[in-house]
């Protein structure tokens, strides 16, 4: 992008809020770094957003998760960056469902309804991606606020898209763990495929990293540890995610990490046939976080592929970029093959002062051969636990 080609204000606002399409993030980020006017605009947008979020922030309820070791680190990170509610938010009674305004004693107006789907009122569109739109919705009988994902109309005749959507339904429905997004309903109404999930207040780690920059050691290790705990549950239920990346890891305002988007999940169960989702030679996943064996054969991937992706993710959180996310690997094929046969630039050279033990953990996680990595997510998470005591202020 040339310096004169400034992104429109809408793109800058989406960049700040984390709503910008992933393929556009890098070009906008590079432009902002060299364009003083756009940099100033981004700073003003971030400042305005922070003030608004401060007014929206509510006291958090008590939760058993708060007693877990290391949770205080994640909560401190949440407070520091100021998370805003997005399509997955934990408190199902906030944002539009408050029956009254305590400041003036008047009842708040009911939220505007944008549509109906069966027994669900669609209140607001929260996000739109290639594989579906997500709405804040309310079950009309239970009065419960949820996140409702629907397959877009243009994909209703796409067998691969329907297979992926069905796979997400099956995968989420098979799991029940605090570090994995929970589903409460799924189905098809008048040709519209939908999936209903819990609503979480928080942001994904891609947004967190863009706002916060390189994370302190304790914070990065804690969020990856929690993700590994969730992946252990997935593994024990015969599931491999195949698309672990910062954008698929949500950090709630409670400091809890939730794994999202099971649309590429490989299921080792009777309903886990992968043939309808992939074809020979097709690369499945996100190339910046893709295990070498997934590049060459996405059907032949086990949980160690997800462990590799977590390694790429912690590398991204600690260094600011994923292992091969630089100009040297400027197309998908070069980048994919780098995962297969090229050692990444050592993390210690991209960020000085990291503990030698942590560098060794990341190196092992990024082993080219699955046998060289941690063999289970539990093994990976246990090695990260000790770093929650690292003082975040001393390392800056």
Tracing tokens 């909560």 back to the chain, one arrives at 75
The yes-or-no answer on residue 341 being catalytic is no
Tracing tokens 């999930």 back to the chain, one arrives at 197
Pairing relation of β-strands 120-129 and 115-117? antiparallel
Q: What is the largest CA-CA distance in the chain?
A: 65
Residue count of the chain? 396
Indicate left, alpha or beta for 18 from its phi (over 0: left) and psi (-120 to 50: alpha). left
Residue by residue, DSSP assigns 70-131 as THHHHHHHHHHHT----SS-S-TT-SS--S--TTTSPPPPPPPP-EEETTEEEEEEEEEETT
Check the annotation: does 149 bind a ligand: yes
Q: How far apart are CA 131 and CA 395, in angstroms?
A: 40
For residue 331, how many other CB atoms are within 10 A of its CB?
8
- Residue 133, CA distances (Å) to 126, 178, 252 in order: 8, 24, 21
CA dihedral over 122, 126, 128, 134, signed as positive or negative? negative
Indicate left, alpha or beta for 184 from its phi (over 0: left) and psi (-120 to 50: alpha). alpha
For 149, the 3-state DSSP assignment is strand
- Residue 395, CA distances (Å) to 135, 218, 347, 357, 389 in order: 40, 10, 16, 15, 12
Strand order across the beta sheet in which 120-129 lies: 115-117, 120-129, 132-139, 145-150, 192-197, 183-189
Residue by residue, DSSP assigns 5-41 as -PPPHHHHHHHHHT-S-HHHHHHHHHHHHH-HHHHHH
Give φ, ψ of 334 to 5 degrees: -60, -45
Catalytic residue among 166, 203, 243, 261: 243
Per the CB < 8 A criterion, the answer to whether 122 and 113 are in contact is: yes
Q: How far apart are CA 266 and CA 239, in angstroms?
A: 6
For residue 332, how many other CB atoms are within 10 A of its CB?
12
Residues in the annotated binding site: 149
Residues in the annotated binding site for ATP: 149
Active site residues: 243
């Amino acid at each position: 992008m040339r310096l004169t080609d400034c992104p429109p204000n809408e793109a800058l606002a989406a960049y700040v809020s984390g709503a910008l399409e992933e393929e556009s993030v890098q070009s906008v980020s590079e432009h902002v770094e060299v364009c003083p006017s756009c940099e100033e605009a981004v700073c003003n947008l971030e400042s305005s957003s922070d003030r608004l979020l401060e007014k929206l922030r509510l006291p958090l309820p008590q939760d058993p998760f708060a007693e877990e070791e290391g949770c205080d680190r994640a909560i401190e990170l949440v407070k520091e960056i100021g998370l805003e509610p997005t399509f997955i938010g934990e408190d199902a009674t906030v944002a539009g469902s408050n029956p009254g305004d305590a400041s003036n004693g008047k009842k708040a107006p009911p939220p505007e309804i944008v549509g109906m789907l069966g027994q669900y009122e669609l209140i607001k569109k929260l996000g739109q991606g290639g594989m579906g739109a997500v709405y804040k919705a309310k079950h009309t009988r239970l009065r419960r606020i949820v996140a409702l994902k629907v397959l877009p109309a243009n994909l209703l005749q796409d067998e691969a898209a329907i297979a992926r959507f069905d796979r997400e339904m099956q995968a989420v429905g098979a799991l029940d763990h605090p570090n994995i997004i929970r589903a409460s309903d799924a189905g098809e109404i008048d040709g519209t495929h939908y999936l209903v999930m819990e609503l979480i207040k928080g942001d994904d780690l891609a947004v967190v990293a863009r706002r916060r920059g390189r994370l302190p050691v304790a914070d990065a290790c804690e969020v990856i540890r929690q993700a590994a705990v969730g992946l252990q549950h997935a593994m024990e239920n015969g599931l491999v995610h195949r698309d672990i990346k910062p954008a698929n890891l949500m950090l709630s305002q409670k400091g809890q990490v939730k794994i999202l988007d099971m649309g590429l999940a490989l299921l080792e169960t009777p309903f886990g046939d992968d043939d309808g989702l992939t074809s020979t030679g097709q690369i499945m996943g996100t190339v910046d976080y893709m295990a070498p064996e997934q590049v060459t054969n996405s059907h032949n991937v086990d949980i160690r592929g997800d462990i590799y992706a977590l390694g790429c993710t912690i590398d991204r959180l600690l260094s600011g970029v994923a292992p091969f996310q630089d100009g040297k690997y400027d197309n998908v094929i070069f980048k994919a093959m780098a995962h297969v046969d090229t050692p990444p630039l050592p993390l210690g050279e991209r960020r000085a002062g990291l503990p030698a033990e942590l560098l060794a953990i990341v190196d092992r996680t990024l082993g080219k051969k699955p046998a060289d990595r941690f063999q289970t997510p539990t093994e990976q998470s246990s090695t990260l636990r000790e770093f929650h005591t690292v003082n975040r202020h001393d390392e800056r």
